[in-house]
Each structure stands twice: as C-alpha cells, then as structure tokens.
C-alpha cells in the first residue's frame, strides 16, 4: 500500500477510507517533527489549511507523487517546488462554494445590521443603545464583490437576491451584470465589500490604505478569503478613524492570534475562527473528495470525486 503523510485530521469516514487503501502516518500537529527515515517512503501528503507543504518538506520526500489540499486555496502549498519535482497538486475547488458564500452573507448581515454590537448591548442591559442604532439593510446597499470564482459568484447572486446594488470585480473579465474591470472604480463608494480572491503575490495586501479610503464612510468589509488580502495596519487605521465601521473576517494571521492583538480586540472587528467551511455535511464531503483524489493519483488515475488537479503555477 502507498504511504501517505497526513498533516491534519480528517472526517472520520474519510480517514477510514484512507486507512483502508494506504499506510497513513498521521501527525498530532502540522509542525510535528518527522524523521527522514519516515519521509523517504512517503508517496502522498494530505493537508487542510494549517499544514505547510514547503520546499524543504518536499525535498525530504523523494518518493512523493501527490500533495492534496482538502480545500480550495493553495497558499499553504509550494506549488512551484512541487511542479519542479513533478509532484501533482490536488485540491477540491467546488466543495466549499455554498458554505463559504453563506458565511460571507452572514458576516455581511451581521456587520450591516449591527447584530453583534446590538446583541452585546442587550445582554449587558443597555437597551437604550437602540436609540442610537444605525444599522442598514443589505437591500439597496452598494455592495462590491471582489473575486468571481465559484464562491464569489455565489455570494454575488445571494446579494443580488436580497436586493443589493452589486458591482463585481475579477482579475479576468466576467460577463455578469455590474462587472467593473477596474478595481478602484469597483470599490469607489461601496458600503459593503466581500473579498473572494486567492492569496498570492498579486493579491497580498490588495485592500490597502488607498483602497480602503475609496469606500463609503462607515463601510463593512467582509473577508472569507485569506487575512493577508487585507493590510492589517491599514485596516486598523481605517477602523480607528471610523471610515470602516466593521471588519468581519473568518480567520486570522497568525492562528490563533495573540490575545492582546489590537486588531482582534477592536470593537469594530467580527472574527470567526476559520469556520466558514466547517459545516458537518461540507466537512465530510470535502475530506471524502480529498481522499478520493489522493488515492486516484497514487493509482495512476485522474483525481475524481470532486477533487481536481490544481492549475500549474
């Protein structure tokens, strides 16, 4: 049986399927040390979001054939190093579409309708805060969706269904109503921004001081992509100036963040602990697809079950 290194846990059913057809070396933590004697025979690596598949790790796995990311984004896999070694990279690009777009919508509603701060006021007995309530509906709001992959497109459709005035931007043109080819024009005057771009050299720090300044005063920024898409110091300054009212983000950098992190502690920040994709059904299906894709490649087949070969970098 092929030998597979599992950097993070999987759904129990997917793990059972992997155990049935492979010898699994499962780590207790993604950065747990592993000896060269173990890595020498590894033919597959499976990771989720935290396990880093670096050039150094790849170099220690001479028999490696496939790296599988149980998820969409590939920023934790050194794809250039994998390609140079002839190692296939597999991911599951469409498994999270519904779940993450729902989470983005939930965060947008929470920010626009001041759900978190209102709930805190009620719990603490400050019912008079309702006299200063300034929440708005998404219907009629100017929304900009940044990135029109499967998740971004689904989020755009949900916003349109709620009656928002939606502008969309993507690095390559898309034939959708409201598409704007220039990002700065797309962001100008936006009351809600929802981010759905992959994190890479082009998008790191995409939302910087200048771009945040383009938004409407009191804007809500939703980030279910990656924290690195937003310049943290620029966002903190925008929040402190009250130009951005709410920054709603799924995940942080690093994870978990230090308890005293000023961005984490800011009252205008809503943070969820990287759970946008972790509904029970989605997690089970995601892990099952990742295992199927891994075993398919190790058997000399194209990955199936919803898994796909990642585009070459």
Catalytic residue among 23, 255, 265, 301: 255
Cβ–Cβ < 8 Å for 307, 292: yes
The DSSP bridge partners found for residue 308 are 91
pLDDT in tens, 38-88: 999 999 999 998 899 999 999 999 999 999 999 888 989 999 999 999 999
pLDDT in tens, 22-31: 999 999 999 8
- Architecture per CATH, domain 97-272, reads as 3-Layer(aba) Sandwich (3.40)
Whole-angstrom Cα distance, residue 133 to residue 152? 30
103 is catalytic: no
User: For the domain 3-95+280-309, what is the CATH superfamily, name and number?
Assistant: NAD(P)-binding Rossmann-like Domain (3.40.50.720)
Residue extent(s) of CATH 3.40.50.720 domains in the chain: 3-95+280-309, 97-272
- Helices 150-161 and 97-112 meet at what angle, rounded to 10? 50
Q: How many Cβ atoms are within 10 Å of 50's Cβ, its own excluded?
A: 13
pLDDT in tens, 269-304: 999 999 998 899 999 999 999 999 999 999 999 999
* Residue bearing tokens 């579409």: 97
Whole-angstrom Cα distance, residue 61 to residue 5? 10
Find, among 95, 63, 90, 93, the residue nearest to 79 by Cα.
90
226 is catalytic: yes
69 is catalytic: no
| H helices present in the chain, as ranges | 12-21, 36-39, 55-59, 79-84, 97-112, 115-123, 150-161, 183-187, 209-214, 232-240, 262-265, 280-298
Cβ–Cβ < 8 Å for 40, 63: yes
Catalytic residue among 154, 211, 226, 231: 226
């Amino acid at each position: 049986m092929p030998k597979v290194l599992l950097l993070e846990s999987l759904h129990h059913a997917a793990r059972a399927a992997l155990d049935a057809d492979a010898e699994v070396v499962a780590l207790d933590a993604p950065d747990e040390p592993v000896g060269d004697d173990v890595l020498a025979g590894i033919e597959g690596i499976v990771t989720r979001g935290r396990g880093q598949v670096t050039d150094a790790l790849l170099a220690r796995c001479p028999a490696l054939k496939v790296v599988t990311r149980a998820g969409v984004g590939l920023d934790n896999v050194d794809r250039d190093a994998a390609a140079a070694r002839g190692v296939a990279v597999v991911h599951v690009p469409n498994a999270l579409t519904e779940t993450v777009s729902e989470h983005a919508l939930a965060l947008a509603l929470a920010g626009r309708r001041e759900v978190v701060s209102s709930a805190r006021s009620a719990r603490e007995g400050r019912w008079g805060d309702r006299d200063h309530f300034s929440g708005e509906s998404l219907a009629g709001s100017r929304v900009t969706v940044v990135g029109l992959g499967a998740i971004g497109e689904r989020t755009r459709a949900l916003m349109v269904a709620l009656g928002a005035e939606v502008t969309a931007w993507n690095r390559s043109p898309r034939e959708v109503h409201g598409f704007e080819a220039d990002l700065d024009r797309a962001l100008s005057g936006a009351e809600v921004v929802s981010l759905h771009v992959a994190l890479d050299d082009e998008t790191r720090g995409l939302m910087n001081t200048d771009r945040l300044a383009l938004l409407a005063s009191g804007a809500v920024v939703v980030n279910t992509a990656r924290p690195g898409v937003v310049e943290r110091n620029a966002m903190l300054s925008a929040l402190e100036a009250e130009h951005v009212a709410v920054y709603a983000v799924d995940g942080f950098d690093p994870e978990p963040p230090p308890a005293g992190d000023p961005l984490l502690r800011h009252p205008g920040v809503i943070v969820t602990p990287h759970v946008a994709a972790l509904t029970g059904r989605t997690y089970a299906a995601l892990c099952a697809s990742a295992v199927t894709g891994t075993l398919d490649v190790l058997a000399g087949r194209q990955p199936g079950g919803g898994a796909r070969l990642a585009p070459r970098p």
